Structure 1
Amino acid sequence: MSTPANTPLSTPATGVATSWEELVSTALVGTDRRPLPGAADPAAELLAQAAVHTVRARAGRRPRPGEPLEPAPAEEQPAVPRAAGDRLARILGGEQGRLLTEWLRTAAGLGRRVPAHLLPDLLDHAARDRSIRPYAAVLAGRRGRWLARLNPAWDFLDQEAGAARPRPEEWELGTPGDRRAHLAALRAADPAAARELLAAAWEKETPDDRAAFLEIFADGLGPEDEPFLEAALDDRRREVRHQAADLLTRLPDSRLARRMAERAARCFTAAGRRILVDPPEECDAAMERDGIRSRPPHGTGARSWWLQQLVARTPLQVWPALLGRPPGELVRAKIPDWEREVTAGWVRATVLQLDSEWARELFARDPLADLLAVLPREEQEAVAAGFVRGHGLDGQLIMVLGGAAAPWGPALTRAVLQKIIDLSGTQPWNVGELARLAGERADPALHGLAERLSLEPPIQEVAALLRFRDDMLKELIP
């Protein structure tokens, strides 16, 4: 029970009761003029009594009538196997903590839930790490949502889908996350039905929800979506307009694509082996509507900023026709002015439009993880393996490997393991991050390959991590 400020308080040093008001008064006039009775050191006693008062005021609570909590609802999802739950407890406790996302992603994909006693620890991790929240929301089950209502730090669960397989009624009654999950499931099954469902509710949705819903349209995107997306360019919220513009950029025959092609034609000219560029002089309302931001970032010139965005939103098929050269020659062409902006725009357009031909040519010029990720899976692994064999160990190598889809197959895994062996004798201090990356992204079934390849400690560390992951996944998927 809390202690009122005027409740007398005694301490073992004096045995004399003193109220908070008396302590404040003594502090104001000084213990020399108003000594505390029986205190050998009045100043120290004053501070001690004030500290006790403060702790009692903060810790106490007056009893009041209350209602018992409703019990947590019964679970609908099966729990993970006991061995998997035990391993999750070890990971949450710090053992191989970088594997937490893989464990959660795998378990959530199976529609499982975590043991109840691990929920607080899991939700605390998700409160700190946004990237794992979608998985935590599924794995928390109904008890996890019940717990989240009791702790404001966990209320992020309402923004995530709470079931691996959402039910139709959640579009009307579910949390924002549940509604996104329902729309995504419908979009995957019937793109037109998803578009019609969203169009019917569009005006009632919040700006944040409208932007989030549009992200889902990347799945099954087609010409039939253009009228809806073109109308979204007039939305009041900038994020909604830019999301719509990103999607329309992927439709090469859309009206937005044609408008961008016309703008590009006014800015680019082929002159022999050179490409001449004259960036826009202004960013008018029509350009802003089409997703070009008028205000450049700090340190970037306005025309430079507009040019880069214009190139990024122009369909890649426009450039060979406009400049008379195939992508490979365009990427290597001489651009006397504005080369950096044009190249950056082409990279952004390639990632946005998922064009493997441009990705291949641009990667050969400037190896970037985002470009590698655009290539088909088999080619991606072959390109990454070749890059590993021909490139030294530096930050760029690590970043490029981050763009190679996991799990890595035998070719890329062998190339990385051989790189570790080659460097262990000359740069043993420099292979740690590469070894960790290999252990976390290679196919865990390849642990035997690593074990047999070399007895070098970094290779054996990779093998141990792969075996840990292999056991982890087998526990989740018996």
Structure 2
Amino acid sequence: MNASAEWEDLVSTALVGTDRRPLPGGAPGEVELLERAAVHTLRMRAGHRLEKGEPLSVAPPEEQPALSPAAADRLARILGGERPRLLTEWLETAAGHGYRISPHLLPELLDQGARDRSIRPHLGVLAGNRGRWLAGLNPEWGFLLEEVTSAAVTGADGAREVWELGTSGDRRAHLAALRAADPAEARELLAATWEKETPDDRAAFLEVLAERLSPDDEPFLESALDDRRREVRHQAADLLTRLPGSRLGLRMAERGARYLSVEDGRIQVTPPAACDGAMERDGIRAKPPRGTGERSWWLQQAVARTPLAVWPRLLGRPPAELVRMKIVDWGREVMAGWVRATVLQGDPEWARELFAWDPLADLLAALPPAEQERVAADFVRRHGLDGQLIMVLGGASAPWGPGLAKAVLQKILEVSGTQPWNLGELTKLAGERIDPALYGVAERLSPEPPIQEVAALLRFRDDMLKELV
């Protein structure tokens, strides 16, 4: 009996039981069955001939500058558990300076990148040629081959070869660099290969066009509204929503005139009765999330894609009045649509008024940086320490300047006397977002432990960033 047939016979006996199907040769019992299976397994494992291996190729030489010993040591400390939340800031800063990671730290960082997508773009730069060589040997690190390389970032010779033969990351980086230098040429390059791109690449490349968006991009984006992939269509609709005077904006304005009106000092709402093909083409999804009514869903999306400049003309009120007017029956949907439109279109006037109505981190982020700090500092002074305060502060661009830093430090000092157990997240956020050069402000403010904890984290960051400059 050959080995394969013998194994199949053992498996069949095990499935039906030795009492119903005795082993070949009449041997009794389950123990004999297991012993024979063990012997067979060992024989099969030992019976394979060794295959002749091929020597590995040598990793190409590095082109990027190495980290300083102090910076490499600090990265090792962070990876070892000291201030682990600062890893992303360290990686982002180091990548921005074009460094490469010390070889002995590469495996641990690549393992981390396999688990955490957010750090992958930084690793695409920092891993250097050796990291990409390693990624070719380990499928779990293969993500690195899709990320940005230093050659793509620096605009090395052979740009045409990068676009035609490079990885998705290389090509995105090349397109972004070209978009920054010559928006029209970047758009034409993408249009020339558009039909051959994968759906995922088409969506990713459209994100690049958000940089230096102009009316010249409209014809290409209009054609993308007919794409087979829903994510591509919605990315194109988002860009056209941001583009003042776009045809999509005009179409949405016509719809908005049918949905909202003012009567007796109140906003009257007539939501869409159906979602036709033209609405879907303009970025309105027909199927609502579970628990949301269809008309509510269509109305909210339609308001979100309508140019904000339409509403003061249509309803005869400035944004400050509109956000405070009574909205009959459909107020939640209209307000949610206005919030989404404000974030999408980056309108500071609407963001200012809507933040006063409902303080949201995304609305704060739509304000100019200087105003963000002022509005956030005022909110910190007026608001108690809770989850909303933490979320709002998350929308304030880092690094925080002196005004917001002092407001947050004073809040920490105030709460430390009443609810010291409730300060954990605010203390960490302050230490991670305040300009690290302000560590002396925190050190001198108070000897209270939470304040000194912030000061220690700021000093750590200040030293960390100096090592990378």
Q: Is TM > 0.5 for Structure 1 vs Structure 2? A: yes
* Corresponding residue number in structure 2 for 1:136: 123
* Corresponding residue number in structure 2 for 1:93: 80
The answer to whether the aligner puts 1:108 opposite 2:95 as a matched pair is yes
Displacement of 1:241: 0.8
Check the 8 A contact 1:211/1:243 in 2, yes or no: yes
Check the 8 A contact 2:18/2:30 in 1, yes or no: no
Check the 8 A contact 1:20/1:50 in 2, yes or no: no
Quick one: which of 213, 225, 231 aligns to 1:221? 213
CA distance in 1, matches of 2:176, 2:45: 48
* Corresponding residue number in structure 1 for 2:70: 83
Displacement of 1:272: 2.5
Displacement of 1:94: 1.5
- Percent identity over the alignment is 72
* Corresponding residue number in structure 2 for 1:230: 222
1:192-236 deviations in whole A, cap 9, x for unaligned? 111111111111111111111001111100111111111111111
The answer to whether the aligner puts 1:331 opposite 2:323 as a matched pair is yes
- Cα RMSD over matched residues? 2.5
Residues 282 and 20 from structure 1, CA distance in 2 versus in 1: closer, same or farther, beyond 3 angstroms? closer
* Corresponding residue number in structure 2 for 1:400: 392
Quick one: which of 421, 440, 447 aligns to 1:448? 440
Correspondence 1:287-436 to 2 at 5 A: 287-436=279-428
CA distance in 2, matches of 1:425, 1:118: 42
Residues 62 and 456 from structure 1, CA distance in 2 versus in 1: closer, same or farther, beyond 3 angstroms? farther
1:22-76 deviations in whole A, cap 9, x for unaligned? 999899659xx99xxxxxxx99999899889979978997521121010000011
Check the 8 A contact 1:23/1:46 in 2, yes or no: no
* Corresponding residue number in structure 1 for 2:273: 281
Correspondence 1:24-43 to 2 at 5 A: 29=18
The answer to whether the aligner puts 1:204 opposite 2:196 as a matched pair is yes
* Corresponding residue number in structure 2 for 1:117: 104
Quick one: which of 154, 175, 179 aligns to 1:165? 154
SS of 1:276's partner is: strand
Check the 8 A contact 2:10/2:37 in 1, yes or no: no
* Corresponding residue number in structure 2 for 1:39: none
1:402-436 deviations in whole A, cap 9, x for unaligned? 00001111111111111011001110100011000
SS of 1:367's partner is: coil
CA distance in 2, matches of 1:384, 1:408: 10
Residues 23 and 181 from structure 1, CA distance in 2 versus in 1: closer, same or farther, beyond 3 angstroms? closer
Quick one: which of 46, 50, 54 aligns to 1:63? 50
Displacement of 1:89: 1.1
* Corresponding residue number in structure 2 for 1:180: 172
Displacement of 1:273: 1.6
Displacement of 1:165: 2.0
Residues 115 and 231 from structure 1, CA distance in 2 versus in 1: closer, same or farther, beyond 3 angstroms? same
For 1:183, the aligned partner's letter is: L
SS of 1:244's partner is: helix
Structure 1 residue runs of 4 or more that deviate by more than 3 Å after TM superposition = 19-30, 42-62
Residues 58 and 311 from structure 1, CA distance in 2 versus in 1: closer, same or farther, beyond 3 angstroms? farther
Residues 236 and 425 from structure 1, CA distance in 2 versus in 1: closer, same or farther, beyond 3 angstroms? same
1:89-109 deviations in whole A, cap 9, x for unaligned? 111122111100000000011
SS of 2:209's partner is: helix
SS of 1:332's partner is: coil
Residues 394 and 67 from structure 1, CA distance in 2 versus in 1: closer, same or farther, beyond 3 angstroms? same
1:156-195 deviations in whole A, cap 9, x for unaligned? 1122111242432311221000000000011111111111
TM-score where L is the length of structure 2? 0.91
TM-score where L is the length of structure 1? 0.89
CA distance in 1, matches of 2:11, 2:299: 70
**Unaligned segments of structure 2, at least 5 residues:** 24-28
Residues 120 and 21 from structure 1, CA distance in 2 versus in 1: closer, same or farther, beyond 3 angstroms? farther
Residues 121 and 59 from structure 1, CA distance in 2 versus in 1: closer, same or farther, beyond 3 angstroms? farther
Equivalent pairs counted in the alignment come to: 453
Check the 8 A contact 1:166/1:178 in 2, yes or no: no
Check the 8 A contact 2:10/2:33 in 1, yes or no: no
Check the 8 A contact 1:385/1:412 in 2, yes or no: yes
Check the 8 A contact 2:259/2:272 in 1, yes or no: yes
* Corresponding residue number in structure 1 for 2:26: none
Residues 323 and 297 from structure 1, CA distance in 2 versus in 1: closer, same or farther, beyond 3 angstroms? same
For 2:290, the aligned partner's letter is: H
1:347-376 deviations in whole A, cap 9, x for unaligned? 110011010000000000000000000100
CA distance in 2, matches of 1:208, 1:224: 24
For 2:227, the aligned partner's letter is: D
Check the 8 A contact 1:5/1:21 in 2, yes or no: no
Check the 8 A contact 2:304/2:337 in 1, yes or no: yes
